[in-house]
Structure 1
């Protein structure tokens, strides 16, 4: 009798222990599932290649901005971005965007009609003679310096992209730019191909007028700007960039030293 009374609680204890272990396993599985779900959601936050979306307001987007004629009321017509430089005051865009530098202003991080990081006046332009003398599409890249604003240099405010020329033909490129009829930047990433030995090509929809000068980024470094062949492309689905070679690097160094 005593043995039976002792053995029954023992079986129940073992059952409760098994139940507790099962509960712990189920809890662990549920936690793992939740974690995997979060990871999957985060992974899907990056749009598929070749799909254009509104750019996130992140550290990349604040270094990219719109070029304005005279000020915010003048409307934006091209895109530019900040690059690292000795003087911490250099931006890059397509050379065809800088026909009137004396009245051009740059608004990094421009979004929804506001310039949260200020409006910066251009002070100097560095373009290749091949562009200034004959508008050679292979030279459609230019650098410019901007004046300090409230005693600060632009790179100290928003940071800058390193410059990485001579990328492989099939490099994956991210493009951030402002269509002239939009007040927020667009983002698209895709693998590129060489259209020619001096021009790079990417397929990304909706990169219409105003996105000229948009930075082409490889692993967060500048590898070109939207421009070149056909002024960057005659249809919004296909865009071009002059390949960044020795002449573009020389221009960059001149701008950096002169700033």
Structure 2
């Protein structure tokens, strides 16, 4: 039976954006999603580790574009200057550690991205089952999509979330709970990734179940930033 829920295109939300590759100072194609997460310096985005760290190390030439929509970049382009992933991901691509924090800066500006677009709060050790909104950027579209459904426990370390229309490009999309209807901000307790790097079909997505190690990784990114 097909999933009756399907991601719908919408205008976007300020703190969620897409990751582009860059070449000679210009954007190329977008390939993953990320969201600004609250931090003291205000310059950190959470995404999936497989989006930003490959077998050869941290990927270079990346840029984050918040609230991207069909060529519109209302908050500009933010270059990725550092990538933080768990040692378990570096060592053997452990799907239970498919989470990354990246540091972003806008050329010519000292204002942190959090001050411009707001930020979601990081949530760990939450229930496996929660009403969750997932916002993502499919690679074959220039518009963000959104869908809301309950997560479930896929395993002790992984969440499952069912909604059709989340193909490649939506990796790193935030699992948002307690979303404020006015601001669009919420608590992020997962990102598309993990098992099957987030799922091998567009109607079922997965995420690492965020526990204490995720907040420790964020703290590491903050301390070295």
State the TM-score, normalized to the length of structure 2. 0.88
Is 2:194 the partner of 1:240? no
CA distance in 2, matches of 1:86, 1:173: 26
Please tell me whether Structure 1 or Structure 2 has the larger radius of gyration of its CA atoms: 1
Is 2:216 the partner of 1:250? yes
Aligned partner of 1:157 in structure 2 is 116
CA distance in 1, matches of 2:168, 2:106: 29
Is 2:61 the partner of 1:95? no
Q: Tell me, what secondary structure is at the counterpart of 1:192? A: strand
Is 2:102 the partner of 1:144? yes
CA distance in 2, matches of 1:78, 1:86: 25
- The number of residue pairs the alignment matches comes to 208
- Check whether the contact 1:55–1:176 (CA below 8 A) recurs between aligned residues: no
Larger RCO (CA under 8 A, 6+ residues apart): 2
CA distance in 1, matches of 2:10, 2:88: 33
Bigger helix fraction: 1
Distance 1:55 1:257, change over 3 A: farther
- Check whether the contact 2:6–2:165 (CA below 8 A) recurs between aligned residues: no
Tell me the alpha carbon deviations over residues 11-68 of structure 1, each in whole angstroms, 9 at most, x when there is no partner: xxxxxxxxxxxxxxxxxxxxxxxxxxxxxxxxxxxxxx933211344xxx11000100
Aligned partner of 1:52 in structure 2 is 7
Aligned partner of 1:76 among 30, 48, 59: 30
For 1:1-259, list aligned pairs within 5 A.
Answer: 50-57=5-12, 61-70=13-22, 73-99=27-53, 100-149=58-107, 150-219=109-178, 220-259=186-225
Q: Tell me, what secondary structure is at the counterpart of 1:231? A: helix
- Check whether the contact 2:77–2:106 (CA below 8 A) recurs between aligned residues: no
- How far residue 247 of structure 1 moved from its aligned partner, in angstroms, is 1.2
Gaps of 5+ in 1: 1-48
- How far residue 251 of structure 1 moved from its aligned partner, in angstroms, is 0.4
- Check whether the contact 1:51–1:189 (CA below 8 A) recurs between aligned residues: no
Q: Tell me, what secondary structure is at the counterpart of 1:75? A: strand
CA distance in 1, matches of 2:118, 2:148: 21
CA distance in 2, matches of 1:131, 1:122: 19
State the TM-score, normalized to the length of structure 1. 0.77
CA distance in 2, matches of 1:171, 1:106: 28
Aligned partner of 1:37 in structure 2 is none
Structural RMSD (CA): 1.4
CA distance in 2, matches of 1:240, 1:173: 12
- Check whether the contact 1:82–1:90 (CA below 8 A) recurs between aligned residues: yes
- Check whether the contact 1:87–1:257 (CA below 8 A) recurs between aligned residues: no
- How far residue 179 of structure 1 moved from its aligned partner, in angstroms, is 0.1
